[in-house]
Structure 1
Amino acid sequence: MARRNSLKDEWKFESELVSENQSIGIEAITLPASQPRRYFDPQKLQQLTESVRQHGILEPLLVRPTGKAGLFELVAGERRFRAAKQVGLTAVPVTIRELSDEDSLQLALVENLQREDLNPVEETEGVLQLLGLRLNIPPIDVPPLLYRMRNEAIGNTNQNVLINSEAQAVEKVFAELGTISWESFATTRLPLLRLPPEILEALRSGKLAYTKAQAVARIKDDQQRRQLLAKAISQDLSLAQIKTEIAKLKAAQEPAEVGDSSLKGQIDDVLRLAKRSQVWIDPKKQRRLEKLLAELKTLVADKE
């Protein structure tokens, strides 16, 4: 909690504090049209609801005036807001600030990105949205920038290009978030966006852990992947069990590949076995292999 509060203090916004720690009617608060967070873990939300039932709202919600008399828009604290409505509170403590649309969205993103229960898909999308706001570019243009920064950092391109305003802004955002480095984000989080849609949805809704999702995504066949995904969720399979299921699928496919009795199939089988055996490591076998390969090249090159 301390880290999140300090981060809010570090973030600079052009805002004016209208009122702090006052109570307003919960019906006077509306949710923003653009909400960074779309999924809330039902179990954790229920735990918070029970806490609010017993102790009330301990941390004020952050709201801003809507321009309509007596109405306010929620900026940060949606979980507390939902819990308060579930309990039936008629009024909640708030801090009221005058904020622009951009500053309001940035504060909401910062609030969410500091939560421990944020799933990896929402975290990734939230970081991209926040970077887009800070860099004044569409979120879709952020991944190419991060990949370019990574290539420059590992020496694939001119290192001097890395020292520019965009890169410095990116590094500042990740330093202020304090949860992950931009290098790690580019390596481990951006690949999430290339996962099949059904796996992304399972991750976003908290039905599947990140490591399990990565394993299931390795199945190329759409139908087999969806079936295993459904099984992994319904039976709460462990990562080891998912890997066992994947091994079974691969084993079921091997007889069709190895059992081809045609000449072409036999050649494919021999090449596959040769690659697995690493026969070329033995000097004597290597010479024999070179001779056989030379004969094979002569044979396949003969057009008659």
Structure 2
Amino acid sequence: MSDEQPNITKSRLGRGLASLIGDAPKDIASDLGDNPMNIGTLPIEQIQANKQNPRSIFSEDELVDLANSIKEKGILQPIIVRQRENNESYEVIAGERRWRAAQIAQLDNVPVIIKNLTDDDALEIAIIENVQRSNLNPIDEASGYKRLLDIYNYTQDDLSRVIGKSRSYVANILRLSNLPIKVQELLSSGKLTIGHARALISSNDPEKLASIVISRGLSVRQTEDLIKSTSSPSFKKTAKSVKDPNIKNLEELITDSLGLKVEIQTKDNVAGKVLINYLDNDQLENIKKRLIS
């Protein structure tokens, strides 16, 4: 008999994930067997957050809603934890939102399932548990996918199968990690949608264009048109077609006031110039009087 320790492969872990992090507590229990030492309750202060959690943003409003539900119905699905090296506390592996909401609900004890996991297995489960959730922000999702690819040698087909998404979906999410950090932050904060971000990936200057998209309130279709225009010789002319509505209104207001065509040119809505068109010296003299008076 070989002395080698059994290898915990993706396929074995993946097979257990459906029961480990599924929606029904009975599925989790069946994965662990009927050993009562694994299932029970713990004082909430003995549980700590997982520093390796792929989820970096927790919506306060959603946590409050979940806390209200917990107050009314309790925690329906146990939190999966493992004992820390000091043997005095436990670390959340799956269910950190429930744990955070339970603190808001001021629970003293929470239902848990205690798993004996290595650091690698705990991280892998934490990543997959999070990327399977529909409310994970796209950048955290992309980061989770990338870690599974880089650390655990998953393929995109493996990811597609484990998380229940199409391969094209996985590929598109992964591409978001190629965006500049500032654009990723705009996406994480909700200032850009995933549709905007996917369009910006193919642009020459995603960061600059992201600023324009936000300041002008462009739709995804308008963003795509703007990106196409930046690679064409007629970029300046095309860019005018998506001029900020507020700037356009100001142009019309000044034009009506002076009786002369006025054009406002801006650079990233920070600086710019005002052009007043006149046809003869009389109109120029009139402009001078209006400005000086």
Asked whether the 8 Å contact 1:76–1:107 carries over to 2, the reply is yes
Segments of 5+ residues of structure 2 without an aligned counterpart are: 1-15, 240-293
Answer 1 or 2: which has greater helix percent. Answer: 1
Give a deviation string over 1:152-180, Cα, whole Å, max 9, x none: xxxxxxxxxxxxxxx6xx53443222223
Alignment match, 1:171: 157
The one-letter amino acid paired with 1:225 is L
TM-score (norm. length: structure 2): 0.60
1:189 aligns with 2:170: no
Q: 1:206 to 1:39 in 2, by over 3 A?
A: farther
Q: 1:223 to 1:8 in 2, by over 3 A?
A: closer
1:26 aligns with 2:48: no
Alignment match, 1:65: 83
The one-letter amino acid paired with 1:199 is V
Segments of 5+ residues of structure 1 without an aligned counterpart are: 136-141, 143-166, 257-304
Asked whether the 8 Å contact 2:180–2:207 carries over to 1, the reply is no
Q: 1:67 to 1:208 in 2, by over 3 A?
A: same
1:91 aligns with 2:109: yes
Q: How does 1:92-111 map to 2 (within 5 A)?
A: 92-111=110-129
CA RMSD of aligned residues (A): 3.7
- Matches of 2:58 and 2:190, distance apart in 1: 9
- Percent identity reads 31
Q: 1:43 to 1:210 in 2, by over 3 A?
A: same
How many residue pairs match? The answer is 215
- Shift, 1:54, TM fit: 2.0
Alignment match, 1:156: none
- Shift, 1:210, TM fit: 0.6
Alignment match, 2:195: 211
1:51 aligns with 2:65: no
Q: 1:18 to 1:128 in 2, by over 3 A?
A: farther
1:198 aligns with 2:179: no
- Shift, 1:96, TM fit: 0.8
- Shift, 1:252, TM fit: 7.4
Asked whether the 8 Å contact 1:31–1:73 carries over to 2, the reply is yes
Q: How does 1:290-301 map to 2 (within 5 A)?
A: none
TM-score (norm. length: structure 1): 0.58
- Matches of 2:134 and 2:48, distance apart in 1: 25
1:239 aligns with 2:220: yes
Larger RCO, structure (CA 8 Å, separation 6 or more)? 1
- Shift, 1:204, TM fit: 2.4
- Matches of 2:105 and 2:36, distance apart in 1: 28
Secondary structure in structure 2 of the residue aligned to 1:62: strand
The one of 148, 157, 161 equivalent to 1:130 is 148
- Shift, 1:120, TM fit: 2.1
Give a deviation string over 1:31-85, Cα, whole Å, max 9, x none: 2232211122343333222212322211110011113243111111011111111
